Structures are given as C-alpha cells and as structure tokens.
Amino acid sequence: MLFVIHCLDHPGKVADRLAHYDAHKSYLSTAPMTSVVSGPLLADDHETMIGSMFIVEAENLDAVKEFNANDPFNAAGIWQDIRIHPFSMRVDNRGAR
C-alpha cells in the first residue's frame, strides 16, 4: 500500500535541517520500505526548505508511523506538523518525461 508523509518544519529550522541532512539521507537509504518519491517542500521563493514529503510503499500505517518516528529529522525536532495518509495513485506520469 502507498502512503503519503507530509511534514512541515518548525519556523527557522533550515540550519538544523542541513546539520542533520546526512543522517536523514542515510536513514532513508536503509529504510525497511520503498521510497517511491521524496524530497523537501519549498517556500514560495522556491529555495528555502520548509518541510518534507514522501510517498512510500509499506505493509501498513503502523510501519510508516514507526519509520517516520525514527527519522533523524523527527528525532531532531525539525518537523512541527506530520500528517500520514494512505494514498491511491491514479496517475503516474513520471515515465512520460
């Protein structure tokens, strides 16, 4: 099943985000689930990172919650708001580029 993880940072956390980026990236590479798409959310200036978005494939919601809880960004208190929802992909245009 696919799940969307949408995380918004606490204000002013860009420096903390950068300080924990290598640990976050390493964690994602060893995750027990498949990351379909992931990356930072950006402010209106199209540069400043303000959060994270993931689409992951996992067995169940509990596995996704555990995965997210153990992310170094979460452990460092970077994310202010985390929302996780099951996702039904209807369109996938990634191969059409």
DSSP symbol at 59: S
Q: What is the pLDDT of residues 5-27, one digit of tens each?
A: 999 999 999 999 999 999 999 99
Q: Residue 83 corresponds to which amino acid? A: R
Distances (CA, A) of 17 to 6, 43, 59: 16, 14, 28
pLDDT at 31: 83
Q: What is the pLDDT of residues 42-75, one digit of tens each?
A: 999 999 999 999 999 999 999 999 999 999 999 9
Domains and CATH numbers, the chain: 2-88 (3.30.70.1060)
pLDDT at 33: 87
CA-wise closest residue to 14 among 35, 37, 40, 39: 40
Burial of 71 (0-12, 13-18, 19+ CB in 10 A): buried
What does the CA dihedral 70, 79, 24, 54 come to, rounded to 10 degrees? 90
- Res 97 pLDDT > 90: no
Q: Residue 48 corresponds to which amino acid? A: T
